[in-house]
Amino acid sequence: MFEDRHWDAEFRERFDLRFEELKWLYYELYNEDEQALTYFCDMLYEYYSDRRPELKKWDRNRMEDPGWYSGNGILGMQMYPNCFAGTLKGVKKHLDYVYECGVNYIHLMPLLESPEGESDGGYAVSDFRKVQPQLGTMKDLSDLADECHKRGMSVCLDFVMNHTSRDHEWAKKAAAGDREYQKRYFFYDNWDIPNEFEKTVPQVFPQTAPGNFSWCEEAGKVVMTTFYPYQWDLNYRNPVVFNDMTANMLFLCNNGVDIIRLDATPYIWKELGTNCRNLPQVHTLVRIMRMASEIVCPCTLFLGEVVMEPSKVVPYFGPVEKPECHMLYNVTTMASTWHTVATRDVRLLKHQLGTIFALPKQYTFLNYLRCHDDIGWGLDYEFLKQFGIEEAEHKKFLNDYLKGDWYGSDSRGELYNDDPRLRDARLCGTTASLCGIEAAEYEQNVDKLAKAIRLDIMLHAFLFTQSGVPVLYSGDEIGQLNDYSYHKDPLKAEDSRYLHRGDFNWEDAEKRKDPESVQGLLFNMISRLRKIRAAYDVFSSNADTWIVEAWNDHVLGIGRYYRGEKMLALFNFSEFDQTAWINEAEDYYDMLSGARRPAKAVGVPGYSFAWLLTSFEKEGNPVKTIQ
């Protein structure tokens, strides 16, 4: 079909290897539209040809080690460029600090052009090929990516593929009556079909943006808007949409972005009579995009934003022989972690991790404590029912505890998208404030502060113990607190997620050099944990992992084994000293102190942890000296 194309040999080899599957999937999705497929394939070669030599070299180096991202030496950091350093040039100037943190993967939060006041934090894109003017230019992004690559860092960027801003060129033409552009969205002459959709499609924001459709006054029609009225859903039934959006993605890759975060992935295919979530066609689209990137820019990774329980998340990895996403968020473990902080009861977390540990090792999860978004309480309530826990009451307890309204709680958070009728609010706050550091500093209570710092460090140790890619939220490494100034900004006041999206505090960052300060204690300990993780293969994603029964509902035990080394990790989620009632025969050593520490009835201080190591291949102490 493309035998007459005078294509580069490298491109031809990659293309021919995948074309039959690509063609079959594309024809299945788009009714054997040969013209659309021809356009799509020629477009791939266009972007391959435009790819700079240094990026093609980056591709080839990564292809030599396709599993590079699943090792134990990867550490990510998520940041808003404007909050971290003002502009993209500012981020570039501060890469020494990022490097000092041991970070080799930076996730730049949405920075493409979006209208002020209707941006949804940058997720309402009006131009996929322009950077927000106040942040810089596309050249600035490309220059930043080049500098990151020189330091061995990867760059991640969100790709908002479910919708565009109503200020996007396509949307403006559609609103003006252009029927070809209206076919790129979901336009209806009246409310008949939208009302049929509403019978089966859940609402994402029932309080702040009820319904899944909005009236477009200019066009005199109804348009689908799953998230907010200013975000118009794209119609991927139209091959023009898929072709052009794939081109937009490849444009970003050619500007140095090598990790694409596929935003709102489960939503991108709509079908009347369904809930418009996780439909089979979504997987077809992602699989084709994966093959497109493997042909044009094979160093690119796909990170799927699939905020659901494991049974619905795992399919987005795709079959081993026909993979889709390289990485997925471990969102359920994150939520279960904060549930455990509030309850001091590790049974749900053990259950959740047991599910993760049973998955194939090639499934790479992105693990985190906090991110730019809220904490949603999508827990396993069927499991919790056996302990007499009811969903609505439990969500209220978790929110009350973590915003500090529960007796004895030192957490400081705020509700997000509160629905008093359903009591289904979510929660916002930085790691440090949720751990109690903010309250302790306000009260000038030394004992509370020490306890809160121990909890913060213990949670990071738990983060680093999990297989996959650990990601820090910028500021967590220095214990950055909530930023309440958003309440005074009319463009942000209605969105409590800005509570944890404050500007990076560079004055506090300087305090990391003082080992007695909160910032110094956290920064140095997190750095040490990161170095230990990178030094031992037992932290590799290829390690065997299992739950260690501690016979204490306050203590979580995790076992890891790889290449003759066995690790036991014990985490005390109670503020009081606890005992892990284990009885292991081998000689164990503390990975932090290097001292011998028998794995028998191990005492773990309140809000603390133990990393114990033994070796079946080396005699004596296997612990390395790491400062």
Q: What positions carry a catalytic annotation?
A: 263, 305
Three-state SS string over 530-594 comes to HHHHHHCHHHCCCCEEEEECCCCCCEEEEEEEECCEEEEEEEECCCCCEEEEEECCCCCEECCCC
Three-state SS string over 191-237 comes to CHHHHHHHCCCCCCECCCECCCEEEECCCCEEEECCCCCCEEECCCC
Contact call for residues 341 and 574 (beta carbons, < 8 A): no
Q: What is the DSSP letter of 163?
A: E
Q: What is the DSSP string of 266-308?
A: GGS---TTS-SSS-HHHHHHHHHHHHHHHHH-TT-EEEE---S
Neighbours of 4 (CB within 10 A): 6
**Closest-CA residue to 305 (of 474, 162, 124):** 162
Q: Is 351 helix (H, G, I), strand (E, B) or coil?
A: helix
Q: What is the DSSP letter of 502?
A: P
Structure tokens given for 315: 């399919």
Q: Which helix (H) or strand (E) holds 112?
A: strand 112-113
Contact call for residues 142 and 158 (beta carbons, < 8 A): no
At residue 236's C-alpha, the angle toward residues 230 and 237, to 5°, is 125
Q: What is the DSSP letter of 81?
A: H
The distance between the two most distant Cα atoms of the chain, rounded to a whole number of Å, is 78
Could you tell me whether strands 426-428 and 414-416 are parallel, antiparallel, or unpaired per DSSP bridges? antiparallel
Q: What is the DSSP string of 388-432?
A: T--HHHHHHHHHHHHTT-STT-----EEES--TTTT--EEE--HH
Contact call for residues 156 and 256 (beta carbons, < 8 A): no
**Closest-CA residue to 303 (of 264, 341, 255):** 264
One-letter identity of residue 105: Y
